[in-house]
Structure 1
Amino acid sequence: MGVIEIEGMKFYAYHGHFEAEKVVGNKFEVNLRIETNCSKAAASDNLDDALNYQSVYETLQAEMKIPSALLEHVAQRMLDALHNKFPAIEHARVKISKMNPPMGGEIEKVSVTLER
């Protein structure tokens, strides 16, 4: 078993419940942790035997482009897409953070983490 982490992915997207969030958008950060069997790739040094990080990133990027009212919904869509596209993933955890959320105070970020 191996762990692959893609951390600090930055996106600008239009997720949020309030109308202003849907129009103005916001900055988001995504962190991903994947558990998969890495033994074949570790032995062969061949990308064809590995989980392609670039394809994983592109999958998350596509989901971030689809506006949602809730971060929970975005995170669930990401997990569904990852498990559907990459059957070698045994377990995944995704954390989505909305930076400087419009909550009436000085808040660095609010985050949602889901895993499957």
Structure 2
Amino acid sequence: MKPEIAIIRVKNLRLRTYIGIKDDEINNKQDVTINAEIHYCAVKARNSDNMDDALNYRTITKKIIALVENNRFSLLEHLTDQVLNIASEHDWVDFAKVEIDKPHALRFADSVSLQLCYAKQ
């Protein structure tokens, strides 16, 4: 990894949304836990100490919250893809990874999770 690459991690963002295909999942919001990792070149921010030269993780997180809380999803794959699109939408992003957990989705498991990655070509 190059030294100018910064890694932003949003850890355990706990939200509620409609996720699933069974009647109780369609009619009741469920908890999801989101972890995102975003890599970008931070040379300008490191040298300037100016917010305009940094990737604003608060703005990104607010977009993720709005998406998740204001929509319905049948599939964890679709939800994860939509969150990854937000995490990777800025031109500065070289790599992004999103993992979303759906707690209690399986009887004997703590959660089921899905992870998707984006890498700039």
TM-score by length of 2: 0.86
Structural RMSD (CA): 1.3
Q: Which residue of 2 aligns with 1:17?
A: 21
SS in 2 for 1:90: strand
2:92 aligned with 1:95 = no
Cα deviation code 1:29-86 (max 9, x no counterpart): 00000010111111111111100011010121122121111111011112223333x2
| Gap runs ≥5 in structure 1 | none
Picking from 63, 75, 83, the partner of 2:88 is 83
Contact 1:59 1:82 in 2 (8 A): no
1:51 correspondence with 2:55: yes
1:106 equivalent in alignment to 2:108: yes
Provide the aligned length of Structure 1 versus Structure 2: 113
Unmatched segments (≥5 aa) in structure 2: none
Greater per-residue strand proportion: 2
Q: Percent identity among equivalent residues?
A: 27
In the superposition, the TM-score normalised over structure 1's length comes to 0.90
